[in-house]
Amino acid sequence: MKATYKKYILNFKQASGTSRGILRSKETYFIIISSNKNKGFGECGLFRGLSIDDRPDYEEKLQWLCNNIHLNKVDLLNQLKEFPSIQFGLEQALLSFKSKNPFELFPSDFTASKKAININGLIWMGSEAFMKQQIEDKLKAGFSTIKMKIGAIDFDTELSLLKSIRKDFSSKEIELRVDANGAFKPDKALEKLKRLSQFEIHSIEQPIKQGQFNEMADLCSKTPLPIALDEELIGVFNVTNKQKLLQTINPQYIILKPSLVGGFKGSEEWINLAEKQNIGWWITSALESNIGLNTIAQWTHSLGNLMPQGLGTGSLFINNFESPLEVKKGHLHYNNIKNWKVNL
């Protein structure tokens, strides 16, 4: 058994805006494990500017992993604890290598094309006209949950967009989620949450920047709408610190991006702790290619969480790999009649 890694640049179909800036491309890395007969693929979804493992020795660590792939999996994961995206790539590659089909890691009714995963439709930041067009497109496409990124354009304009949705659709018809990516100032956040709450928002992700534990805890105790932690979970490696964070902040939800929090193992630690505190959770991809998205989707289905998940990012890139993943009527489907086309 040997392992290699390969860098791959995903190019967006159109520039996508967040409060951290405009995204035009996204680099990712693949671990490929091979022997005479088998091949396994794992995606290390590094996210520049967001991942805790966005550091100069990233490729050096990937090479170290390839050189030491013969070591015990538990030992490897421990050695990679400061590189959560590589941990996840390793978990995927080992599962893929051992599977009869390298892209069917969690056989289920989802991979048998019998069940689909309810997902939210993602609205990227941009001009009012651009955001309005995206909203109309998602509604026409049959999404019942819409997630809108906010915090980059004028707040009153963002409120007017939400108001226009609520004018035509009640909260029973369309669930609205918003994601501030930490854009609000702590002293202004509560007032903004009060103004958002009039539109029956399901939840807001990361209203203020991560690392402000006391401010976030205060906000979660007073908020008129549920708060979901996202970036706040990045870089918290051991279970004791995870538990302390959840007990201190006591959010209504947490959102798990396996590439950013240590793959299956890291995510499941967060889930177990959250459930003990009656904190809700859902899973979101972090702009992986279809290889990583496929793994996250199959694993997510195995968890049995029926909330809409954040897994609709596969169609964003012009050079993604052809796969059985399809989005229809606000659901992610695995069309097992379609074949994978992966050239790595």
Q: For the chain, what are the domain ranges?
A: 2-98, 117-334
pLDDT at 19: 57
pLDDT at 15: 78
| pLDDT reading at 20 higher than 70 | no
Q: Which residues pair with 125 in a beta bridge?
A: 17
What residues contact residue 286 under an 8 Å CB cut-off, 6+ apart? 45, 47, 50, 257, 258, 259, 260
| pLDDT reading at 304 higher than 60 | yes
- State the pLDDT confidence band at 37, using cuts at 50, 70 and 90: confident
CATH code for the structural domain at 117-334: 3.20.20.120
Helix (H, G, I), strand (E, B) or coil at 204: strand
Catalytic residue check, 265: no
| pLDDT reading at 281 higher than 90 | yes
User: Whose CA is closest to 99, among 289, 294, 286?
Assistant: 294
Q: How far apart are CA 12 and CA 318, in angstroms?
A: 6
Q: How far apart are CA 73 and CA 65, in angstroms?
A: 11
pLDDT tens digit sequence for 52-61: 999 999 999 9
Residue 10 sits at φ, ψ, to 5 deg, of -90, 130
User: Whose CA is closest to 225, among 198, 249, 250?
Assistant: 198
How large is the average pLDDT for residues 63-77? Answer: 97
Across the chain, what does the average pLDDT equal? 95
Which of 3.30.390.10, 3.30.450.20, 3.30.110.40, 3.40.605.10 would CATH assign to domain 2-98?
Answer: 3.30.390.10
Q: Which residue has the tokens 């992610």?
A: 332
Catalytic: which of 26, 138, 149, 192?
A: 149
Catalytic residue check, 257: yes
Q: How far apart are CA 74 and CA 158, in angstroms?
A: 46
